[in-house]
Amino acid sequence: MNSVPNFDEERANNETNGGAPARALRILDLVSSYGGAMSLAEIAETLSLPKGSAHRLCSLLVSMGYLARDVDDRSYAVGKALQRMALSTLKHRSIQSLRHDILIELVKKVGETCNFNTLDGTRVVYLDRVEAQWPLRLIFDAGSRVPLHCTASGKLLLAHMRASEAARILPYLQLDACTESSITCLMELERECRQILEQGYATDREEFISGMVAVAVPVRDTRGEVQAAIAMHAPTARMSLERALELLPYLNKAARDMQGVL
């Protein structure tokens, strides 16, 4: 004889587990805070979810754009819809104003355009930017995306990436030559990343755009993890890379100030 379902017990279990919407939010929170792609098994184990349930929820989140399948198609990473949501949150007016003020003060000190950037998959996204008041300048709006392998911010963020995530991404980077100085060899890029970790900053030696140099420094959160980068770039007609490196103390000071408004 079939037993009568215990609806009170079932309801209690649903409330404890939070139901599908809560489990979906937990998955999004986990993947976004992990800092890289996660396998289905890792998601299910970390959240104590049945693998079938985790798979259904991840598939739904992929269809909605909040998650994306990673390059090997067996793992999940942050999707474009979640990235847009995060970007909107990061650009919340009060926080954005504080960050913008830090960049304004930095530009006053160094006299060249400065950016506040973070990772967006295999590219760098500009969260904020303050242009120097020169007739010769390169304009990128907030939200613009640039390559990892040939920009100062990109190489810096790549260097500080978790080893497992870097190992997953590096083989799939398209090392296109934007200029004659661009790094197009994976071994050379890995070697430069190690150097960046040792010296604490990254440079762009006319690798992205001919006639332009840049330097970037890390912005860390309260735990010491690198979450973003501050970069300064200038045309070589106005500033040499050697002079740009002399301005690193100003960039590092701005990066420390930025830590309080992450």
Nearest to 170 by CA among 161, 181, 180, 179: 161
Each residue of 119-129: pLDDT tens digit?
887 889 989 99
**What is the model's pLDDT at position 47?**
93
Strands (E), the chain: 38-39, 67-69, 75-78, 113-120, 123-130, 145-147, 202-205, 212-220, 226-235
Domain boundaries, the chain: 7-79, 91-259
Please list the ranges in the chain whose pLDDT falls under 50.
1-16
The count of C-alpha atoms lying within 13 angstroms of the C-alpha of 213, restricted to the half-sphere facing its C-beta, is 13
The dotted CATH code for 7-79 is 1.10.10.10
Classify residue 86 as exposed, middle or buried by CB count within 10 Å of its CB (0-12, 13-18, 19+). middle
CA 10 to chain centroid? 41
The dotted CATH code for 91-259 is 3.30.450.40
Which SS3 state, helix, strand or coil, does residue 102 take?
A: helix
Residue 256 CB neighbour total at 10 angstroms: 14
Q: Are 230 and 109 in contact (CB under 8 A)?
A: no
Edge-to-edge strand ranges of the sheet holding 145-147:
145-147, 123-130, 113-120, 226-235, 212-220, 202-205
**What is the model's pLDDT at position 10?**
36
Cβ partners under 8 Å of residue 17, min gap 6: 23
**What is the model's pLDDT at position 169?**
81
Classify residue 3 as exposed, middle or buried by CB count within 10 Å of its CB (0-12, 13-18, 19+). exposed
**What is the model's pLDDT at position 119?**
87
